[in-house]
């Protein structure tokens, strides 16, 4: 057995170590001691989860991951509702035009104007339906899903597959999209390499159709609005229920088409500017940050996918083939 002297020496040694670790009571060194303890606590906390790939963006993404999941799933399910809403609103406008506007045009307009409205109106309608169908049903394009030894720029963190240039992961579709522009809930589809032209053409023709309906029905709208205002006068005007429905339909037609023409027209102009610059909606934010970063270093940013204003449009519509061979698109 060990003697009492050995135990006594061990107790004194531990007591001395404890006194050395305890903060001294001098006020001058207390803030420094607290600061050291705080830094030591941060080191312990970081050692639990920190690695070379961790930063505050990763931490915030992990904290908000449930929120992102909820928004992505709601957007995915509401996409079907938005598509049905587009079809319903467009069908209601076409129905009002056929039942209210077109008969009035045929009865009151000269022959050449009747032919103009018949030809242009039906052509515009066919273009809207065709490009909306192609934009919703055409896949935007995906990179190869199988793993290969081909050198690549990056690897998608979620798909764990090679991610070519201009490819981004869509959390709503849960896949990587070639030349991704954005996820459009009105299409319930991503806008990417293979359906970008259909999306832009749909926006353009829908804007043209709404402006056409708004301008063509302006005089009818004013007459219908004055008639609706007279409903509240005394004595009440002798309008039948069918005439009242006719007035309200024209009012609905003009307000809807005018609102969509302004909103969708602005979106179409914005995408036309991006196409002219050779950018997508995602790349616009990336290039803006890169342009600012290089400007601070005294350098000039050059978009590697900008081939000239005309050539950018040719590439979009598949007219320019040489850029595809050179890996430009």
Q: What sections of 161-302 are H helices per DSSP?
A: 196-216, 218-229, 241-277, 281-296
- Known active-site residue 170: no
How far is residue 117 from each of residues 145, 196, 212, 250, 298, measured CA to CA in Å? Answer: 49, 29, 9, 17, 57
Choosing from 100, 184, 203, 213, the catalytic residue is 184
Give every CB contact of residue 32 below 8 A, 6+ residues apart in sequence: none
DSSP state of 160: -
Q: Do 203 and 97 meet the contact criterion of CB atoms below 8 Å apart?
A: no
Q: Do 213 and 93 meet the contact criterion of CB atoms below 8 Å apart?
A: yes
Question: CA torsion sign, 237 to 240 to 245 to 247?
Answer: negative
Would you mind telling me the total number of residues written for the chain in this entry? Answer: 329
Q: What sections of the chain are H helices per DSSP?
A: 4-21, 30-49, 56-63, 65-96, 102-108, 111-137, 196-216, 218-229, 241-277, 281-296, 309-316, 322-325
Element (H, E) at 154: strand 154-155
* 55-94 residues labelled b (16+ CB within 10 A) or e (exposed): eeeeeeeeeeeeeeeeebeeebeebeeebeebeeebeebb
| CA–CA gap between residue 175 and residue 145 (Å, rounded) | 10
Residues annotated catalytic, as ranges:
184
């Amino acid at each position: 057995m060990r003697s009492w002297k050995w135990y006594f020496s061990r107790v004194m040694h531990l007591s001395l170590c404890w006194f050395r670790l305890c903060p001294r009571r001098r006020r001058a060194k207390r803030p420094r001691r607290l600061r050291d303890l705080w830094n030591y606590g941060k080191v312990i906390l970081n050692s639990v989860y920190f690695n070379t790939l961790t930063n505050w963006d990763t931490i915030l993404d992990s904290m908000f991951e449930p929120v992102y999941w909820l928004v992505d799933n709601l957007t995915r399910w509401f996409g079907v509702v938005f598509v049905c809403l587009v079809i319903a609103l467009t069908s209601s406008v076409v129905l009002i035009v056929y039942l209210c506007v077109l008969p009035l045009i045929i009865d009151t307009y000269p022959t050449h104007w009747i032919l103009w409205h018949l030809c242009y109106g039906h052509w515009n309608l066919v273009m809207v339906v065709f490009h909306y169908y192609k934009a919703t049903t055409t896949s935007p394009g995906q990179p190869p899903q199988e793993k290969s030894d081909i050198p690549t720029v990056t690897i998608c963190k979620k798909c764990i597959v090679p991610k070519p240039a201009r490819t981004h992961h869509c959390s709503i579709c849960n896949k990587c999209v070639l030349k991704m522009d954005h996820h459009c809930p009105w299409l319930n589809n991503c806008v990417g390499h293979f359906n970008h032209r259909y999306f832009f053409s749909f926006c353009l023709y829908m804007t043209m159709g709404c402006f056409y309906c708004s301008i063509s029905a302006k005089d009818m709208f004013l007459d219908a609005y004055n008639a609706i205002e007279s409903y509240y006068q005394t004595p009440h005007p002798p309008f039948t229920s069918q005439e009242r429905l006719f007035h309200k339909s024209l009012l609905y037609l003009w307000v809807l088409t005018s609102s969509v023409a302004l909103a969708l027209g602005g979106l179409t102009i914005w995408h036309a500017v991006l196409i002219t610059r050779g950018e997508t909606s995602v790349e616009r934010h990336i290039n803006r940050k890169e342009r600012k970063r290089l400007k601070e270093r005294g350098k000039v940013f050059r978009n590697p996918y900008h081939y000239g204003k005309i050539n950018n449009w040719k590439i979009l519509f598949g007219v320019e083939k040489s850029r595809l061979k050179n890996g430009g698109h």
